[in-house]
Amino acid sequence: MDLADQIRDIKTQFRLAMNGVASSKMREQGLVYHLNFGIELPRLREIASEYTPNHELAQMLWKENIRESKILATMLMPVDRFYPQVADIWVEQIQTQEIAEIAVMNLFQRLPYASTIAFRWVSDSREIIQVCGLLLLTRLCMLKRDFNESAAYELVDQAVTAMQDDNIRIAQQAFILLRKYIQIGEKQANEVSVAIKPILQTEKQRLLGWVDQLMFECGL
């Protein structure tokens, strides 16, 4: 079966598995896609398991403006063929929080250069790219990924700065990142406690609540 046949076969499976109720609920929650079949992730994993991971197939699926196609692309892209410049192109084309989270979970966190692109994305001025960077760093912390001294300083510094952002999505994800970083160990907790002390006197109630919680989790 050539790539065109595989794409046709996949789209047929999408139509057969369509869940109109789920699709409508996603729209109500603000998850707007050009085309959304409302297929749940377990079923998409079953569909993906029928195909061998393939760079060209994944690229073709990602280019489709269909929710399920983009999710399947993250499942079928071979890590060793997914180069940094391609990762930058993909992240620029992500439009929803759902796809950002799935791409991080299925693909981005498995990349050997994951921390490098994460820091670059966090520094980007575009909201969704910055969120992707924060999500990726959060996953790396959950995986207990080792950060050298320079990278650890950059992570804490960028996260503390992002947590003060007026954009709630960016600020909240930065808060979550700091919580996960603290959970790595005592050294990391000390780094965060020192970094957030200057904002203890903030007048922003949401930020103050987060800082108080982080201080508590640091054991202070």
Lowest average pLDDT, out of 33-37, 61-65, 210-214, goes to 33-37
Going through the chain in order, the beta strands assigned E by DSSP cover: none
**What is the maximal distance between C-alpha atoms in the chain?**
63
Residue 34's pLDDT band, with cuts at 50, 70 and 90, is confident
Buried b (16+ CB within 10 A) or exposed e, 48-81: beebeebeebbbbbbebebbbbbbbbbbbbeeee
3-217, what's its fold? Answer: Leucine-rich Repeat Variant (1.25.10)
As a whole-number percent, the residues of the chain with pLDDT over 70 amount to 99
Q: What are phi and psi of 43, to 5 degrees?
A: -70, -35
Cβ atoms of residues 20 and 38 within 8 Å: yes
Tell me the per-residue pLDDT of 90-148, one tens digit each, with 9 for 90 and over. 999 999 999 999 999 999 999 999 999 999 999 999 999 999 999 999 999 999 888 99
| Domain parsing of the chain, residue ranges | 3-217
Residue 186: per-residue pLDDT: 94
Q: For the whole model, what pTM was predicted?
A: 0.92
Q: Compute the distance between CA of residue 94 and CA of residue 116 in angstroms, rounded to an integer.
A: 19
Is-contact 111 117, C-beta < 8 A? Answer: yes
